[in-house]
Amino acid sequence: MALSEAEREAIREEAAHYRDKSAASIEALKIVQQRHGWVSDEHIKDIAEVLGMSPDQLDGVATFYNLIYRRPVGKKVIHYCNSVSCWILGAEELREQMEKRLRIKLGETTQDGEYTLLPIVCLGACHRAPVMMVGDETYFEIDPARLDAIFPVKT
C-alpha cells in the first residue's frame, strides 16, 4: 500500500527539522510503522522518495534499526534478549519454555496474531537478567513461573 498524503506530509514536517532530509529516516519509518504495524517495500520506496534517498539506502537504515519491522508482526512484539548475561542466567531454557507455550519459534507469529517473538541484542539491563520486552513493557529477572503468568494458557 502506498503512503497516504497525510503520511507524506507528516514525514515532510519531520524532515523540515534537518538540513539533510535523510536525517529524519528513523522518525519517518516510525511514522509509517505506527500506522501500518510494519514497513513494506512499497513504503520504503515512497519514504525514500520523500527524503531524497535511494530505497536501498533507506532499507539499510530500516534493517539496522531493530525496532523497525520489515515484515508483518503480531499485535505485540516480544523482544527476547539474546545476549551473554541473559544466557548465563537461563535465557535459553526460558525461551524454549516460551516457544512451547506460544507454539512458535523465534521469528514467528502466534496463530491468533497476538505475538511475534524476536531476538534482540542486550537490552542494557544485564544486572536484572534475563530480560525481555513485550510491546512497550519490559520484564526483568524472568523465571519459569513469571513466564507462565505473563503468557497464561488460553482456554
Residues within the interface to ligand FES (CB under 6 A): 81, 83-86, 122-123, 125-126, 129, 131
- Complex with ligand FES: residue 55 or 119, whichever CB lies closer: 119
Pairing mode, if any, of strands 137-139 and 76-81? unpaired
Cell of 92: 535459553
Q: Write down the least CB distance from residue 144 to ligand FES, Å.
A: 17
Cβ at position 86, least distance to ligand FES in Å = 3
Measured CA to CA in angstroms, residue 63 lies from 21, 53, 66, 76, 133 at distances of 19, 15, 7, 19, 19
CB of 152 to ligand FES, least distance (A): 24
Helix, coil or strand: residue 74: coil
Which residue lies nearer to ligand FES by CB, 58 or 129? 129
Q: Which is nearer to ligand FES, 104 or 123 (CB)?
A: 123
* Nearer Cβ to ligand FES (2/88): 88
| Residues 6+ positions from 76 with CB-CB distance below 8 Å | 114, 115, 116, 134, 135
